Structures are given as C-alpha cells and as structure tokens.
Amino acid sequence: MPHRQPDPTGTDLDPGEVLGIAPVPGVIPTGSRVLLLNATFEPLAVVTAKRAVVLMLSGKAECIEVSLGGAFHSENLTLPAPSVMRLSRYVRVPYRRAVPMTRAGVLRRDGRRC
C-alpha cells in the first residue's frame, strides 16, 4: 500500500478506509452532482446523478457531457454517467425583482438588520 502524506487539516482518515469500503472502478454514486442546463444552455441547477438519469429516461433531458469511467447499469440498458445535461424544453425561471433602493427596501434586503 502506498504511503500517504498526512492531511494538513489534521483529518487524515478517509471515510472509505474507516468504513472498510473500497471504491469500485466504473461505479458512479447516485448522489454525485450533475449540472442541469436549460434548453438555451443557461445553468439551472445542480442535481443528483439519480435525478439526472430519471430525467434522461423520461425523455425530458439529454446528456451533453459524460463522466469519465462511469455508467449506470440495469438488466437491459447501460447509460453513461452524465456530468452535464440539457432539458429538451425551455423552462421559464421566475426571477425576483430587485428591491427598490429606498429606506424600506434596504431594510427588507438586509433582513431588518443594520
């Protein structure tokens, strides 16, 4: 086993080593993050890989970039693990209006704190 340098933060324990879990090559955890883009390639959110696969299987999103070395396997299907996805339809995102620069607006913006 190769020698590891101590972690400068003082926490040299790898969670996988503590639990006795070894990483499996080619397996992507369902909690890994995927960037979700609007149909116009505007970033919308970061979703879990599980949610990204559900969107892909339901035809609501398409994979733009895949993660290297990972895939999701089922009995009849193998999907590459996405890292960036784009929605097929445009989703209108409601933006909050800017708070007016008045005394009341500044207090509202700052949560009634000085």
Residue 38 burial by Cβ neighbours in a 10 Å radius (0-12, 13-18, 19+): middle
* 100 lies in some domain: no
User: Which residues span the domain enclosing 79?
Assistant: 30-91
The strands making up 33-37's β-sheet, listed across from edge to edge, are 43-48, 33-37, 78-87, 61-73
Would the pTM count as exceeding 0.85?
A: no
Of the candidates 96, 112, 114, 93, the residue with the CA atom closest to the CA atom of residue 104: 112
Give the model's confidence band at 14: pLDDT under 50 very low, under 70 low, under 90 confident, else very high. Answer: very low
Query: In the chain, what percentage of residues exceed pLDDT 90?
Result: 34
Average pLDDT of the residues in 74-93: 90
Q: 46 vs 106, which has greater pLDDT?
A: 46
Domain tally, the chain: 1
Q: What is the pLDDT of residue 47?
A: 94
